[in-house]
């Protein structure tokens, strides 16, 4: 079982309690109820004692009491509150303007520093720059290797040769697809009742070679992708 920790606030009594409440009322200079004052004083003056002291101070004219419904509110007597003359108010107004201007300067500096910080955060680190340079060098090497045959004077494929390749492709690829479909259907029918290992052994005995992963990747690539009923493969070299 846990026990509630004892408060370190000293409980005030008598004149000390009255002075503390009156001093607080003058300092805050705003309406309060007895419960609020007791809570704001951290329990230094109990609620019941606070209510009695407030009534006593109101009777003495030290504070003003206002009743709204069943609730009493109290505020310091404004005649006892020190007021500032016109010169002091002007001085405070000037001080406020000075502080506001200084605050604006600091705010501008903060904004500038924040922009600089964001710029630094978006700047690559040394390690990232090294990785980017390495990737760029690899790209340069790959492209240079591609351009090497052209720079050495190797003749390019002529337009007629490219056209012939397109014609051969369009002629024989549909035939290849048709024959593959026929073979696949026949092979599935012939090996449907065989265990997988027996079907594999039969294919080896017959010398049947199935598509390798490279063939499968090529079939799924852009060269063999069907883009339309009358689509043609893109065998033409891009001209710069």
Longest dimension (CA), the chain: 121
Q: Give the span between the Cα atoms of 88 and 83, in whole angstroms.
A: 10
Measured N-to-C along each axis, helices 47-60 and 14-28 cross at an angle, to the nearest 10 degrees, of 70
CB 40 within 8 A of CB 47: no
Whether the predicted pLDDT of 30 surpasses 50: yes
Return the structure tokens found at 85: 């003359």
Q: Which of 157, 149, 155, 173 is nearest to 223 (CA)?
A: 173
% of the chain residues with pLDDT over 70? 88
pLDDT digits (tens, 9 = 90+) for 105-150: 999 999 999 999 999 888 888 888 999 999 999 999 999 988 887 7
- Residue 170 makes CB contacts below 8 A (sequence gap 6+) with 232, 233
Whether the predicted pLDDT of 238 surpasses 50: no
SS3 71: strand
Q: How confident is the model at residue 1 (pLDDT cuts 50, 70, 90)?
A: very low
């Amino acid at each position: 079982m846990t026990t509630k920790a004892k408060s370190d606030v000293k409980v005030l009594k008598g004149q000390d309690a009255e002075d503390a409440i009156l001093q607080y009322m003058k300092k805050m200079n705003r309406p309060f109820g007895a419960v609020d004052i007791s809570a704001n004083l951290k329990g230094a003056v109990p609620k019941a004692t606070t209510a009695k002291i407030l009534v006593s101070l109101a009777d003495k004219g030290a504070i003003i009491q206002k009743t709204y419904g069943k609730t009493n509110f109290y505020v310091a007597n404004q005649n006892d509150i020190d007021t500032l003359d016109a010169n002091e108010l002007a001085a405070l107004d000037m001080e406020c303007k000075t502080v506001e201007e200084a605050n604006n300067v600091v705010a501008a500096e903060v904004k500038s520093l924040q922009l600089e910080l964001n710029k630094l955060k978006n700047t690559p680190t040394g390690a990232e720059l090294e990785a980017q340079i390495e990737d760029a060098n690899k790209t340069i090497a790959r492209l240079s290797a591609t351009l090497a045959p052209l720079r050495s004077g190797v003749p390019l494929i002529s337009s007629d040769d490219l056209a012939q390749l397109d014609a051969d492709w369009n002629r024989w690829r549909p035939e290849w697809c048709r024959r593959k479909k026929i073979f696949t259907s026949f092979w599935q029918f012939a090996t449907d009742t065989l265990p997988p290992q027996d079907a594999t052994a039969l294919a080896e005995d017959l010398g049947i070679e199935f598509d390798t992963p490279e063939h499968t990747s090529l079939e799924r690539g852009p060269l063999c992708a069907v883009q339309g009923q009358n689509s043609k493969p893109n065998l033409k070299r891009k001209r710069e």
